[in-house]
Amino acid sequence: MEILELITEAIGTLTRNKMRTSLAILGIVIGIGSVISLISLGQSSQKSIENQIQSLGANLLTVIPSGQNSGAVRGAQGGGTTLTLTDAEALMNDTSITSIQSASPEYSKRAQVTAGKNNTNTQIVGVYPQYATIRKIALTTGTFITDRDVSALSKVAVLGATTATDLFPTETNPIGQSVRVNGQVLRVVGVASPKGGTGFNNPDDAIYVPLSTAQKQLFGVDYLSTIAVEATDANKMTQAQNDIGYFLLARHKLRDPSQADFVIFSQNDILNTATQVTGTFTTLLGGIAAISLVVGGIGIMNIMLVTVTERTREIGLRKALGATKSIITLQFLIEAILLTIIGGVVGILLGITVSYFLSRSMQLPFAISISSIVLAMSVSGGIGILFGWYPAKKAAGLQPIDALRYE
Amino acid sequence: MIQINHVSKIYTIGSLTTTALSDISFEVKKGEFVAIMGPSGSGKSTLMHILGALDLPTSGDYILDKEKVSTLTDNELARIRNTKIGFVFQSFNLLPRTSALKNVMLPMMYAGVSPEIRKEKAQKYLTMVGLADRMNHLSNQLSGGQQQRVAIARALSMDPSILLADEPTGNIATNQAEEIMAIFQKLNDDGHTVVMITHEPDIATHAKRVIYIRDGKITQDKRNKHQVRVAIKN
């Protein structure tokens, strides 16, 4: 008997018994689909958590000037004037440093701000446009500081969320209003959305102005308080830190790192937490995958065992008519493979669709990996084929009369 | 043709042993029409299953067409069932939701007969049992008598040396039973060897020879001098 004919016979048996076939396929579809969507949901959550950590600035380095020594008195850290805009620009423009994505020169100082009858004491931050990207500032309304604002020394301001309500408690949209800082009048062009955070460096309690405006018009300084640097990757933090360090030492003509007139901070705490959370999630994902594979696998095993065992009488009949054990086993193997392929393809499509809509409704980023599809297909498919083939092999090994009498 | 020499069959279930057949010997020659009779539990079904190579004896020899069936391997047994034996079951045992034609073609598929010849022969035998107009009906769309006729056509499809029928009329209406017996008589007239099990005396009267079994032993083996003849009505 030819293999092609056996395949035809297997297809014939499957199509003649539509109910049984569709139940078996359904079992495989659910088994494979649930594995894929569960793993995908886990990956989506992982991605979402990672994004949130990223938004905290896990790959952010801050360079501040170290304290100045005047005689024997050592000044406070950050109180120095050694960092300049040209340092930041040189750092940005040096193409030999591949570990950094971008750098943001910043000058900030607290000042009293008034708007009509309201006033508050807040942090005035002179920035470049890339500040918004690096520090993850989003706007609820208006626009952020632009390159034009910086080059034209525009008198414009973007208010932090808290500052906006402090200065304009009754206004829902303060765009176009004026605020007064150190005798200068600034026009409000944007309001940042709340980031959350407390303490001295609360990003919501701040006013962002063009760096040039802050340096020249408001405070009359020519140095920076901070250069914020974004590394290309959270894993390249150490490399970026070294690159920046040596670059600035060379620029400041300092040989010994112990003489450095700047300090580089990395978000090590955040990074450590991020690594731990990601690690926990990887473990969790493994657990989800294992459980869903077991659950899906048992479902598939059950449906295949039941449908094949139910056909023991048919196997007895086929043997009585002259089929050999190997022909019967092969036919059932082909049937199991066909069921698994059909169920597998539908299951993969279902899994992808379900996880897409699940992640959308839960507002998670959609993530699906080839490895989860391969895992689901190989394990669940393997189980389907095994339990479609094994009971048939067992039944085909019986004396025909015992198989025919099977209840 | 068939030789049964000192065949015994003992079933062991746990510590309980049941003797279904004890030391039975007989012979069936080519062209005979034998009815095996006996009450239920007499062992006649067990004997039939051994004759059909569906089961193996505990001891003794079964020789079919000079081949010692009791010592064959699993694959050789499959060949014997396929080519030498045509088995007709009490409960028909057709593949469900499958056409009469496909059912009759099944043994020929296992034998590797080419699809054209398969179809040709299946049509021939279905016509012979009077189902020319029902070849494409599904098995579950046929009456009991019609299903049994499909089963007979299937048993004939490989031109077997021997036709075995296990209570062939047990599950069908009396008027259709006559038809089935007419077919067996016609096949026997054409030279087929037929062995049939029944517990109904009037069915047994259609055979040429009747063997009586009781408690696993042959109690009587006689010629039926007054064979009841029935002709196929069409």
Give average pLDDT by consecutive 10-residue segment, chain B, 234 residues: 94 90 95 94 92 94 93 94 95 93 96 94 95 94 93 95 93 88 94 94 94 94 91 75
Max Cα distance, chain B (Å): 54
Closest-CA residue in chain A for B47?
A401
A17, A322, A399: residue with CB nearest B97 = A17
Residues A29 and A44 in one domain: yes
**In this complex, do A322 and B97 lie within 8 Å of one another by their Cβ atoms?**
no
Residues A154 and A224 in one domain: yes
Residues A213 and A343 in one domain: no
Burial code (b: 16+ CB inside 10 Å, e: under 16) for A19-58 equals ebbeebbebbbbbbbbbbbbbbbbbbbbbbbbeebeebbb
Percent of chain A whose predicted confidence (pLDDT) is above 70: 93
Number of structural domains (chain A) is 2
Residues A86 and A215 in one domain: yes
Contacts of B79 in chain A (CB under 8 A): 322
User: How near does any CA of chain B get to the CA of A365, in Å?
Assistant: 49
Dihedral sign, CA of B219, B208, B83, B135?
Answer: negative
φ, ψ dihedrals at B71, nearest 5° = -115, 10
Model pLDDT, residue A207: 94
Contacts of B82 in chain A (CB under 8 A): 321-323
Model pLDDT, residue A154: 92
Token pair 């088995």: residue: B87
Token pair, residue B86, equals 């045509």
Calculate Rg over the CA atoms of chain A.
34
Token pair, residue A311, equals 């056909």
Closest residue by Cα to residue A66 from A229, A265, A287, A331: A265
Q: State how far the Cα of A366 lies from the Cα of B2, in Å rounded to an integer.
A: 73
**In this complex, do B95 and A5 lie within 8 Å of one another by their Cβ atoms?**
no
CA torsion A285→A287→A292→A293, rounded to 10°?
100
Q: What domains can you pick out in chain B, each with its CATH number?
A: 2-223 (3.40.50.300)
Residues A209 and A234 in one domain: yes
Task: Write out the residue range of the structural domain in which residue A323 sits.
Answer: 3-53+274-404
CA distances from B172 to B99, B165, B215 (A): 20, 14, 27
Closest residue by Cα to residue B185 from B28, B76, B13, B33: B33
Residues A81 and A171 in one domain: yes
Residues A233 and A322 in one domain: no
**In this complex, do B81 and A327 lie within 8 Å of one another by their Cβ atoms?**
no
Contacts of B110 in chain A (CB under 8 A): 1, 318, 321-324, 327
Q: State how far the Cα of B159 lies from the Cα of B84, in Å rounded to an integer.
A: 8
Do residues A134 and A230 make contact, with C-beta atoms less than 8 angstroms apart?
yes
Q: Specify which residues A104 forms β-bridges with.
A: A228
Among residues A266, A301, A326, the one where a domain terminates is A266
Among residues A196, A231, A266, the one where a domain terminates is A266
| Cβ neighbourhood burial of B162 (10 Å; 0-12, 13-18, 19+) | buried
Closest-CA residue in chain B for A12?
B98
**In this complex, do A322 and B83 lie within 8 Å of one another by their Cβ atoms?**
yes
Residues A283 and A135 in one domain: no
Q: State how far the Cα of A35 lies from the Cα of A25, in Å rounded to an integer.
A: 15
Residue A237 contacts by C-beta under 8 Å, 6 or more apart in sequence? A59, A61, A231, A266, A271
Model pLDDT, residue B25: 96
Neighbours of B87 (CB within 10 A): 27
Contacts of B102 in chain A (CB under 8 A): 12
User: How near does any CA of chain A get to the CA of B161, in Å?
Assistant: 14
Test the A interface: residue of B50, B93, B104 with most A CBs within 10 Å: B93
Global model pTM greater than 0.90: no
Closest-CA residue in chain B for A5?
B109
Among residues A241, A266, A291, the one where a domain terminates is A266
pLDDT below 70 — which residues of chain A?
1, 54-58, 67-79, 196-201, 268-271
Q: State how far the Cα of A67 lies from the Cα of A82, in Å rounded to an integer.
A: 9
Residues A297 and A239 in one domain: no
Residues A131 and A228 in one domain: yes
Contacts of A1 in chain B (CB under 8 A): 109-110, 112
Residues A395 and A299 in one domain: yes
User: How near does any CA of chain B get to the CA of A392, in Å?
Assistant: 16
Residues A13 and A48 in one domain: yes
Closest residue by Cα to residue A35 from A240, A231, A295, A356: A295
Q: State how far the Cα of B197 lies from the Cα of B207, in Å rounded to an integer.
A: 10
**In this complex, do A322 and B93 lie within 8 Å of one another by their Cβ atoms?**
no
